[in-house]
Structure 1
Amino acid sequence: MSIEFKNIKMYFGDKDLFAVDHFLIPTGSRVGVVGDNGSGKTTLFSLIKGTMEPNEGHIICDDQVASIDQLIDADTTDSGGEQTKKRIQEALKGASGILLADEPTNHLDTKGIDFLEKKLKRYSGTLLVISHNRSFLNKVVNKILAVEKGTLKLYEGNYDAYLEQKKIEETEHQRAYDNYQQEKHRLIQATGVVKEKSRQTRKAPRRMGNSEARLHKMGDQRAKKNLDDRAKIMETRLEKLEKVEKPREKKQLIIPFTATQKLHAVYLLSADHYSLKVGSKELLVDASFQLLTGSKTALLGANGTGKTTLLKQILNRDAEISFAKGVKIGYFSQSFETLDEEKTIFDTVRESSLHDDQAVRDLLAHMQFRGETIFKEIGVLSGGERSKVAISKLLLSDYNILLLDEPTNHLDISSIQVLEEALTAYQGTILYVSHDQTFIEHTATDKWLITEKLIQTEQDKNRLNEQEEQRKQQQMLLENRKTALLSQMIGTGGDEKLAIEKEFQEVLQTLKKLAEE
């Protein structure tokens, strides 16, 4: 059940994907495969499955390979989540060799992801999983295989452990670069000093006789040669000095505040006793909600509870929802209908931007569109790249509330991280749907949970927790009183005993009611 790579080279045309001399994934490993879109993760899976051959070298697998693919069948009535669950069950049925899972959390809600985690934790074979869900990787894997910079590298531990090791590598890289710069500067200065000494070697004074002048000149020539030789040695050392690339400097992203975002209302939208149906299916019944100005609110709930439908009702300004004066709504969905395929990335974002060209370039650079890539046409971009362009366009437009439906779909982990930073820097209001727990933790200031056809907010949850705590305290006091009454009944009689028994029955009834709540 181990997987061994020997002298592998993989490339398409003039594009090198990765190369590795020797690499072993041990039997029973649970490996999370990470890397930027286009780095070769899915190609790696194809090589292991045997559906693709490497350009050079070979791969040795000790067992049969099963897979959970991310493709969704449009010809079935099953949802993406239901199809994914079926694929998981089929792949795991009797499998105990090597299992490959390509983005298995796509289309799954929180319950579906919990189901997948439990299934994969019980799997006894060798597991490789490509996923952008960092919380999922932390719970399921014990190794991370990074496909980056044209090679494969295995890290021990889950995703958080991988991040810690990457931080150490970055610190060491910075230290190596600083040392390289210091040594380079020292050699350049020292070479300059020696060359200047050689240049200033003087000729013999005029008062010297011919013989003395010849001796002086010979001495100077020897000194000059020694200095020139020293300079050449230093220049050779400088040429052979191992170059260390400068670490990429992370620039803080600032998205300027716009006039349209200066709304004085406490809530941008609100509703009381709000109901929502799709056909005969009730999604919300008598629900209430208020969207706080400037908040980043995550809209949570199982698949089919009405999250996307509610976003569309807000976008269409449902008459049952109250909107603050001046509200302008921007909407992101996976259809990318706002993008013109013949326009460039830069022109697409600039045409609706309230800010200057530099602000557009800064945001696009943050979103990993650097240099000449901003002049690529939309038509040649991947789904993940289109997502980043569409969101960038929204962030710089005159909207003051953004509705985002699953903005992390199609994005690799590094793209999700830059998206987190961009949404945090945005000074307007955001309401978004996501099942990515880490993304939610990093961006959400508030949470709405659709449950039992109602919208539960953080305030509601806190109030319920307080009520539950009060109920538990009341139960404890009543249990103590019940014990005390039982003790009092022993050795008493007459009217006093009847009064104690009456109170005892009242305590029992109250405890029963609390237990039923």
Structure 2
Amino acid sequence: MLLLEATQLEKSFGDRQLFKLEQLEIRRHDRVGIVGRNGVGKTTLLHLLAGEEPLLSGKIKRYAKTALIRQFGPGDAAETSARHKATWGITDVHDGMSGGEQVRLKIAHALEQGAQLLFADEPTSHLDMQGIEQLEKALLDYDGALVLISHDRSLLDAVCTRILEIEDGVITEYQGNYSHYQEQKEHRRKRAHDEFDTYQREWKRLSQAIVEKRQRSAGMSKIPKRFSSSESRLYKESASQRMEKVEKSTKALETRLARLEKKEKPREIARVQFDTTSYQEVHAKAAIMLDQVSRHMGDRTLFHKLSCTIKPGMKVALVGRNGAGKSTLLSMITEGAPGIQVSQSCQIGYFAQSLSLLDENQTILANVAATSSQSETLIRTALARLLFKEVDVRKSVHLLSGGEKSKTALAKVFLSDANLLLLDEPTNYLDLLTQVELEQMLADYPGTIVFATHDRTLINKVADHVLVWEENGPVFYQGNYQQYVAWKETRNDARSIGADDLLLLQTKQGEIIGRLSMPIKDPALKEELEMQYQDVTQKLRTLRVQMGK
């Protein structure tokens, strides 16, 4: 069932063409994601398709009712039922609603309209992990078509069946979800490289052949000095014929060279290779040690008696609802709050959402270089990977957008002399391409990282441990978020079948691991704990066999 068709859409700002769309059809149950760098016109395209912006060129026909989840502006509380508000956790509508509450209200209002065609502009903005997962389920269950802009790669993977990419004013359609789009882009990139290499080899071959024939032709006109006048006359006649043949052959080669389809060299961004010779290793068993750490906000407990050990080189993601205490914990680590011990060999690089570490009057390059011992070449390479053009690095920070400031602050922290990075929502304001580059830089970073984020893809690609805020408090788990979710489901299954013994043993094992991860001066106590761990582990194996797990 056709719900929308668009033809010959064009949008320009002044002399610059923002994008051009030849044709688009959206049918029932289509899930279309719009991707591209910040500023390429994603929201403009979505608003044109939704009828929210005047159409100056081309045609759009809509054959169904539409609804829109806006990125900006308040939600419509008056037209949203109490039942749908409650479904999305809205108990009271007031002027002081948080960003997450406003987004959930807009989602509730749009989904309640029963439209066959839903448009959504950054619907995960300000949502925590549980809100994002609730939205994902709602969109998967949605009985209609969807056009979506999002910086959440996991959401685009789970929901989308087609991707529209806006790049250099051209809109290209890819079949599949975001990961399929990335695979196809990589395939096209490799093919472009192969075509460029083939073009370059053929261009060099033809050019060299032309040069050689010109040189050969020039040599033919010279008469050997030993020739007599009659011999010279005969040589001239013969040379003239030979030169005519060479010239004809040369012109044929020149024609082939002129007709050779030119291939542009694909743009490449160099990988950032951190200078590990200047990197200071942490010579300690623990980079960060949390021992019975508690924090309260009024009558609310953020965490109580939190204990865990973060070893050098670990990459730990903090996961939880908005307001759970993730940013608070990062701040407490930087302050060295009671119960928190940071190794003396650790130098902290702290990325806060306020971006307060930047000097607004300095350039991008000067800001990063001020705290880095890395070479200017490496700094420029890192900035290029974060999609700063070569001329951009001389811009003053006060002239930058929110996303550009965020990228500058990240580069400043990454390339500082720190060996312990504390990152609070590092992907905020970043477009998808920059997120991918940031992810690679985090994965390659040789030091310890503790980062708070709602980006599931970033966690799964980078983290080797997660600290997750559950209902009964934070849980420290070895593995990424996807592995944690699978483990949690197994744990919940055990609870659902009444496996009290299994839960008791798992709890006991966790307690012992927690105690063993702390420094123990008494050898007898350490030996006793290790024996208890072996005993509990064996009992768990036996019980799981009995339960068929």
Q: TM-score, length-normalised on structure 1?
A: 0.84
Work out whether 1:427 is the aligned partner of 2:449: no
What are the residue-to-residue correspondences of 1:13-28 with 2, within 5 Å? 13-28=14-29
In structure 2, distance between residues paired with 1:76 and 1:315: 34
Instruction: Report the CA distance between 1:40 and its aligned residue.
Output: 1.5
Q: Measure, in 2, the Cα distance between the counterparts of 1:30 and 1:178.
A: 37
Structure-1 residue corresponding to 2:538 = none
Equivalent of residue 139 in structure 1, options 145, 148, 158: 158
Moved more, 93-102 or 179-188: 93-102
Select 2:462's aligned residue among 443, 454, 457: 443
Deviation at 1:300, TM superposition (A): 1.0
User: Which of the residues 171, 175, 180 maps onto 1:156?
Assistant: 175
Which stretch of the first structure deviates more once superposed, 31-40 or 362-371?
Answer: 362-371
Larger CA deviation: 200-209 vs 450-459? 200-209
Does residue 50 (structure 1) correspond to residue 51 (structure 2)? The answer is: yes
Distance 1:452 1:52, change over 3 A: closer
1:503 alignment counterpart:
none
Aligned-partner SS, 2:17: strand
Q: Which residue of 2 aligns with 1:113?
A: 132
Residue 482 of structure 1: aligned partner: none
Q: Match of 1:352?
A: 371
Specify the code of the residue in structure 1 equivalent to 2:451: Y
Q: C-alpha distance in 2, partners of 1:352/1:323?
A: 21
Question: Are the aligned partners of 1:96 and 1:123 in contact in 2 as well (CA < 8 Å)?
Answer: no
Q: 1:339 aligns with which of 334, 337, 358?
A: 358
SS at match of 1:299: strand
In the alignment, the residues of structure 2 paired with residue 400 and residue 88 of structure 1 have an alpha-carbon distance, to the nearest angstrom, of: 41
Is 1:296–2:319 an aligned residue pair?
no
Contact 2:119 2:146 in 1 (8 A): yes
Q: Could you report, residue by residue, the CA deviation over 1:376-405 in whole angstroms, capped at 9, with x for unpaired residues?
A: 222232222211110110112233322111
CA contact (8 A) 2:292 2:339 kept: no
In structure 2, do the counterparts of structure 1 residues 221 and 56 end up closer, same or farther at CA, with 3 Å as the change threshold?
farther
Aligned to 2:524: none
User: CA 1:222–1:105 in 2, change beyond 3 Å: closer, same or farther?
Assistant: same
Partner of 2:114: 95
Q: Deviations over 1:144-177 (max 9, x none)?
A: 1111232111111111222222232123212211
Show the counterpart of 1:186. Answer: 205
**1:215-294 alignment to 2 at 5 Å?**
216-257=235-276, 261-294=280-313
Q: Does 1:407 align with 2:426?
A: yes
Comparing 73-82 with 299-308, greater Cα deviation is found at: 73-82
Whether the aligned pair in 2 keeps the contact of 1:288 and 1:455 (CA below 8 Å) is no
Distance 1:264 1:86, change over 3 A: same
Amino acid at match of 1:314: I
Of 217-226 and 297-306, the range deviating more from structure 2 = 217-226
- Match of 1:384, SS state, is helix
SS in 1 for 2:246: helix
Question: What amino acid maps onto 1:136 in structure 2?
Answer: L
1:374 pairs with 2:375:
no
Question: Quick one: which amino acid aligns to residue 401 of structure 1?
Answer: L
Cα drift, residue 88 of structure 1: 0.7
Equivalent-residue separation in structure 2 for 1:465 and 1:288 (angstroms): 24
The residue number in structure 1 matching 2:79 is: none
- Counterpart of 2:414 (choices 377, 380, 395) is 395
User: How far is the alpha carbon of 1:215 from its aligned partner?
Assistant: 5.6
Which residue identity is paired with 1:112? G
Q: How many angstroms does 1:464 deviate by?
A: 12
Instruction: Establish whether residue 128 from structure 1 lines up as the match of residue 147 from structure 2.
Output: yes
Which residue of structure 2 aligns with residue 10 of structure 1? 11
Residues 165-191 of structure 1 deviation map (CA, whole Å, 9 limit, x = unaligned): 223212321221122112112211221
Structure 1 CA distance for aligned equivalents of residues 227 and 355 of structure 2: 89
In structure 1, the gaps of 5 or more residues are 476-510
Counterpart of 1:45 in 2: which secondary structure?
helix
Shift of 1:268: 2.1
Match of 2:63 in 1: 62
Alpha-carbon distance change, 358 to 167 in structure 1, aligned in 2, over 3 angstroms = closer
Preserved contact between residue 269 and residue 384 of structure 2 (Cα < 8 Å): no
Cα contact 1:8–1:19 (8 A) shared by 2: yes
What is the distance in 2 between the residues matched to 1:19 and 1:343? 38
Alpha-carbon distance change, 146 to 373 in structure 1, aligned in 2, over 3 angstroms? same
Tell me how far 1:203 sits from its aligned partner: 5.0
Could you tell me the TM-score, scaled by structure 2's length?
Answer: 0.79
Q: 2:70 corresponds to which letter in structure 1?
A: D
Query: Offset at 1:408?
Result: 0.9
- Answer yes or no: is the 8 Å Cα contact 2:74–2:106 preserved in 1: no
Partner deviation per Cα, 1:443-474 (whole Å, 9 max, x = no partner):
11211112235321125978997996999697
Equivalence for 1:196 = 215
Shift of 1:72: 6.4
Letter in 2 for 1:87: K
Aligned to 1:319, the other structure's residue is in SS state coil
Q: 1:464 to 1:55 in 2, by over 3 A?
A: closer
Q: Secondary structure at the match of 2:118?
A: strand
- The offset of 1:358, in angstroms, is 2.1
Q: 1:436 to 1:12 in 2, by over 3 A?
A: same
Counterpart Cα distance in 2 of 1:374 and 1:260: 24
Q: Which 5+ residue runs of structure 2 have no aligned equivalent?
A: 76-93, 503-542
3-state secondary structure, aligned to 1:458: strand
Q: Give me the whole-angstrom Cα distance separating, in 1, the residues matched to 2:3 and 2:359.
A: 47
Structure index of larger Rg: 1
Matched, 1:417 2:418: no
CA displacement at 1:102 relative to structure 2: 1.2
Asked if 1:314 is matched to 2:304, the reply is: no
SS of 2:58 mapped into structure 1: strand
The 1:20–1:226 alpha-carbon spacing in structure 2 relative to 1, beyond 3 Å, is: farther
User: What is the deviation of 1:59?
Assistant: 3.2
Distance 1:179 1:403, change over 3 A: same
The alpha carbon displacement at 1:68 in A equals 0.9
Q: Check the 8 A contact 1:3/1:25 in 2, yes or no.
A: yes
Q: 2:101 aligns with which of 68, 77, 82?
A: 82
Q: Partners of 1:9 and 1:228 in 2: how far apart?
A: 49
DSSP-derived class of the 2:450 partner: strand
Aligned residues: 477
- Contact 2:465/2:478 (8 A) holds in 1: no
2-side partners of 1:34 and 1:298: how far apart? 26
User: Does the aligned pair in 2 maintain the 1:401–1:430 contact within 8 Å?
Assistant: yes
Contact 2:36–2:42 (CA under 8 A) maintained in structure 1: yes
Q: CA deviation at 1:441?
A: 1.0
SS of equivalent residue, structure 1 residue 449: strand
SS at match of 1:106: coil
Tell me which amino acid in the other structure corresponds to 1:267.
A
Q: CA deviation at 1:214?
A: 5.0
